[in-house]
Amino acid sequence: MPDFTDTIILYDELAYEDVMPLMWQALGAKVDPVLAASYEDANLNLLHACMAMDEPQSLAREKQDEAQPLAAELSRLDFKLTLLLDLVAQLASRDLQRPPPTRVRFNALGATFAAAAPLEVGTEGVLHLYLRPTLPRPLSFPARVSGRDPEGRTRVRFHALSDPVADLIEKLAFRRHRRHVAESRRPR
């Protein structure tokens, strides 16, 4: 029988968990709708980029498993592209000041994280998550502080996300979960 005790859940939905640079930007009121729309557009582009960067690796692995002659070439090109992206990201991030990495759990509904200082319930703000070192911009989610989780971390609820952004976040969480399950099944 499968053991799903280590499945990452937040607000009764599958969630993505990692350690990444994170910043909470408190606001006096809700985010301006025009600014929120620009966050949505930027988030959609970043999530598409993230999914595209993950896709070639899994595609190359599948092709290697099938022992197709093109698999080795795809894998080699994927490695070179990943290396190039890492180098460009390092150059671009030299001048960027990223916040310190923090354990965060998030999905399309909200997030939980350890805040540097206690945040008051009801506080409006924007949660900025730097998802990948190769992506210099953060995902930015207008949100409201909804409380604390049992471990004392801050919980925020995102304002309604567009369906495309919510779908990509769900796919990201599912891929992470699927990878975790596959790794746990591998013989050691």
Q: Is residue 20 part of a domain?
A: yes
Long-range CB contacts for residues 58-63, cutoff 8 Å, separation at least 24: none
Assign residue 150 the CATH number of its domain. 2.40.10.220
pLDDT at 63: 46
**Position 57, amino acid:** Q
Q: Is residue 89 part of a domain?
A: no
Mean pLDDT score, 148-156:
93
Q: Is residue 155 part of a domain?
A: yes
Q: Is residue 57 part of a domain?
A: no
pLDDT surpassing 50 at residue 4: no
Say how many CA atoms lie within 13 Å of 133 toward its Cβ: 13
Strands 110-113 and 101-106: antiparallel
Q: Is residue 88 part of a domain?
A: no
pLDDT surpassing 80 at residue 37: yes
SS3 content of the chain, % helix, strand, coil (to 5): 40, 25, 35
Q: For 89-131, how does the pLDDT look when each residue is reduced to its tens digit (9 = 90+)?
A: 677 766 678 899 999 999 999 999 999 888 999 999 999 999 9
- Give the distance from CA 164 to its chain's centroid: 15
* d(C-alpha 106, C-alpha 181), whole Å: 19
Q: Which two tokens stand for residue 122?
A: 């009801």
Q: Is residue 35 part of a domain?
A: yes
Q: Is residue 142 part of a domain?
A: yes
Rounded to two decimals, the pTM is 0.81
* d(C-alpha 63, C-alpha 71), whole Å: 5
The domain total for the chain is 1
Q: Is residue 25 part of a domain?
A: yes
pLDDT at 65: 52
pLDDT surpassing 50 at residue 3: no
Query: Which residues fall within 8 angstroms of residue 50, CB to CB, at 6 or more apart?
Result: 131, 132, 135, 172
**Which structural domain, as residue segments, surrounds residue 14?**
9-51+98-185
The mean of the pLDDT values for the chain is 85
pLDDT surpassing 80 at residue 28: yes
